[in-house]
Structure 1
């Protein structure tokens, strides 16, 4: 059966996350409805590179679609986007090797978190307005601690009981542009809520409630504090999924085009 790679962007503010749920609106559910509508086929498989939680957005989510159809990808792309809600758009649809797997072949996942330093009309669903003054320099310094292979047990839970909490963070950097603070984190994979807890911890550093030493201790011994600092979902964006042969960008795609 032919396999297609889909690159998808979506506004997750009105959805209960990526993963299909019977009695809830999800990104995957809307895509499945569109596929059934366009191809008039119910026998297909759609598999995402990773799950995003309710309220989280994506600039470059990746999925693979197995479907038996002779429809050219460029026509299918056009027709799918015509029936999808305006909050979901497939940016690219290409035929790939049947052995390609959106999740298991992914080398890195890149996230961007958007913090606003002021009240904004676009704040509630797309950023986190932090009212306290932020020491962005201190945040940038502590953010460097995240890089490398480390035990993130204080920052999230594994997919299954007894699973590893070791995560390799390839890049972690803080950018400040006018009234926005963008936190870019690239990792091999992520534990549940890990990125939002990493961000929330940095904000605590920025407002002066945590020190560099405090964050270091979160890696040396388990602490429940990062869970209390979990950043709100609306500021989080799955920026890109990287596969073999692709070079990690020094700056997130969103920052380049902001």
Structure 2
């Protein structure tokens, strides 16, 4: 009798055609497509658990999920077949066996996102970046970031009516990177609230464009009120980019 094994999948996806990660009724999602492909390959119903949700139109250059299967998996055959079944917007990059109690969501130590803003129209980035015709003051935005690194309660950047027990997050790093006609925001934390990164980017852009001062960031955070922060940046510029796990969970 075979014992159940647990596997982590690393994947990426272009979020444009999907209504986010999490499976829901009457809407196409990444989770639904992936579970359907895995169930087709294994000829058995497969359920997956992701490291976290992404909203409608948000992308992932790295997402992780886990599933259980009773047998050893031939990695080469599996990778070739599953990527052939999946739609072109989703790609599996790696499969690794992990300890039976390893959990894609709860065992993650760090999560990273980046957000891309471009300043001239680019047909190749139409669905992958926020087009802004106004150049913000990056130094002011980086100055405002300092408040993010010393605070822990980010209710002001969370979507309302979200099912969480608390709004505390530890932000380990955050910075803007300028490359020619592109500006990229990088942020890493132990966890993120729903809509948090897009709300932070939107608020920082208002600071960079002179609509608020860098000193306002601390006041916004301490207010714990979503209406005090800026408008959310468009979903299409956001990418889940890295999830870090302790090495001890892997068996291979």
TM-score with structure 1 setting the length? 0.89
- Pairing 1:10–2:13 present: yes
Alignment of 1:207-222 (within 5 A): 207-222=209-224
Displacement, 1:30? 0.6
Counterpart position of 2:57:
55
Counterpart position of 2:194:
192
RMSD over aligned CA atoms reads 1.7
Q: Which of residues 222, 233, 242 in structure 1 aligns to 2:244? A: 242
Matches of 1:220 and 1:35, distance apart in 2: 45
Displacement, 1:245? 5.1
Counterpart position of 2:32:
29
Counterpart position of 1:206:
208
1:138–1:149: structure 2 CA closer, same or farther, 3 Å change rule?
closer
**Over 4 Å off, 4+ runs:** none
SS in 2 for 1:199: helix
Displacement, 1:228? 4.6
Counterpart position of 1:118:
120
Matches of 1:74 and 1:141, distance apart in 2: 48
1:46–1:214: structure 2 CA closer, same or farther, 3 Å change rule?
same
Per-residue Cα deviation, 1:59-94 (whole angstroms, up to 9, x for no partner): 110001112234313321221001111110001011
SS in 1 for 2:48: strand
1:227–1:217: structure 2 CA closer, same or farther, 3 Å change rule?
closer
- Pairing 1:90–2:92 present: yes
Say whether the 8 Å CA contact 2:153–2:224 is kept in structure 1. no
Show structure 1 runs of 5+ residues with no match. 247-258
Displacement, 1:202? 0.7
Counterpart position of 2:156:
154
SS in 1 for 2:220: helix
SS in 2 for 1:32: helix
Per-residue Cα deviation, 1:28-85 (whole angstroms, up to 9, x for no partner): 111011111111111x331100000000000110001112234313321221001111
SS in 1 for 2:239: strand
How many residue pairs match? The answer is 244
1:178–1:101: structure 2 CA closer, same or farther, 3 Å change rule?
same
Displacement, 1:139? 1.2
